[in-house]
Structure 1
Amino acid sequence: MLLVIVVATALLLATIIVHGFAVLLLYRIGMTPLMNAEGMSPLRRLHWSYFFVIGFVIAHLIEIMIWALAYWFTGELKDMEEATYFSAITFATIGYGDVTLEGRWRLASAMEGVNGILLFGWTTAFLFKVSAMLWFPRKPPGEAAGVDTD
């Protein structure tokens, strides 16, 4: 059981690191447009929204594959297709139950579910902030509508 906890913790930390790099990369690429969103057309804002969403989908797919590789390498699941499917439904906390792990490795799948909840929450928080910056940019106090600065 200790080996499973150690391996699952390492996988959890690896996916957190992947997600952190995704956040940094997406923000670095999108920082200038986010800071200048006020002058953008709605279509351009939508394109930047797509950029962030697709970026996080890719990050989540990488994170799911990290867990899937572990299930496959340990021999818990027979092939990579089954391991990927199981990892995806576990990470997303869907848990259909048509594919399950045997014995001690079940604890790892529980940790993957917790991992998925945390990383989806992080993604949601980031996308919420990005959406606010893109769609509701703040004007400097002197430029607010109806405010006389004289």
Structure 2
Amino acid sequence: MVIATGATWGVDWLWGVSLIVICVVIHVIGLMLIYREAVKAMSLAVVRRHFVPMFIVVMGIVALLAAALHGLESALWGGAYRLLDALPDDRSAMLYSLSAMTSYGHADLFLKGPWQLMGALQALNGTLLFGLTTAFLFAMIREIWEIEGCRIQTQQKPSM
């Protein structure tokens, strides 16, 4: 059994916390841009009376872009694992990274001893990112429902 020293864990924490901050910033900026464009598209759809088909298309694109953000952030962690020589090749680094990010954990891969704490830190990062994505999807759907609700109320008002 290999027990990491405090100094090694300090480097793990430094890498892990830095990657967490970078990924959260990328994620929030990415979600903000997605939100802005999705709400703009849905506002136009309401005016043109194509709400339901546009909602389906927009939500599909939003889900794809959110998954792409998670993939990009997993690739950043995988790149760090390769840079640190914590895993032997790019394929295993990406597989391990996606597995850690999602807390799936079924890949038969292990980080080299000095870097094992980073896997747990990446799982923490994944929890934060998936929480942000869930809150984002909820807020976006709510905003779109409000846009649709305003359209319905406008249609129901009697004309003077």
Give the TM-score range, shorter chain: 0.7 to 0.9
Change (3 A) 1:143 1:128: same
Q: Does 1:127 align with 2:131?
A: no
**1:149 Cα shift?**
9.7
Which letter maps to 1:90?
A
Equivalent residue, structure 2, for 1:75: 85
**1:148 Cα shift?**
7.5
Q: Does 1:138 align with 2:146?
A: no
With the length of structure 1 as denominator, give the TM-score of the two structures: 0.86
Equivalent residue, structure 1, for 2:112: 102
More deviation, 21-30/48-57? 21-30
**1:30 Cα shift?**
2.0
Pairwise mapping of residues 42-81 of structure 1 onto structure 2 (< 5 A)?
A: 42-81=52-91
Which letter maps to 2:12?
V
Equivalent residue in structure 2 for 1:23, among 21, 31, 38: 31
**How many angstroms apart in 2 are the aligned matches of 1:29 and 1:148?**
32
Equivalent residue, structure 2, for 1:114: 124
Which letter maps to 2:134?
T
Equivalent residue, structure 2, for 1:3: 11
The DSSP-based 3-state class of the residue aligned with 1:98 is coil
**How many angstroms apart in 1 are the aligned matches of 2:16 and 2:120?**
9
Q: Is the 8 A contact 1:35 1:133 kept in 2?
A: no
Equivalent residue in structure 1 for 2:20, among 12, 15, 23: 12
Which letter maps to 1:87?
S
Unaligned runs of 5+ in 2: 1-8
With the length of structure 2 as denominator, give the TM-score of the two structures: 0.81
Q: Which runs of 4+ in 1 moved over 4 A?
A: 140-145, 147-150
Task: Note the aligned Cα RMSD (angstroms).
Answer: 2.4
| Structure with more of its chain in helix, by fraction | 2
Question: What percent of counterpart residues are identical?
Answer: 23
Change (3 A) 1:18 1:142: closer
Instruction: Tell me the number of residue pairs that the alignment of Structure 1 and Structure 2 aligns.
Output: 149
Unaligned runs of 5+ in 1: none
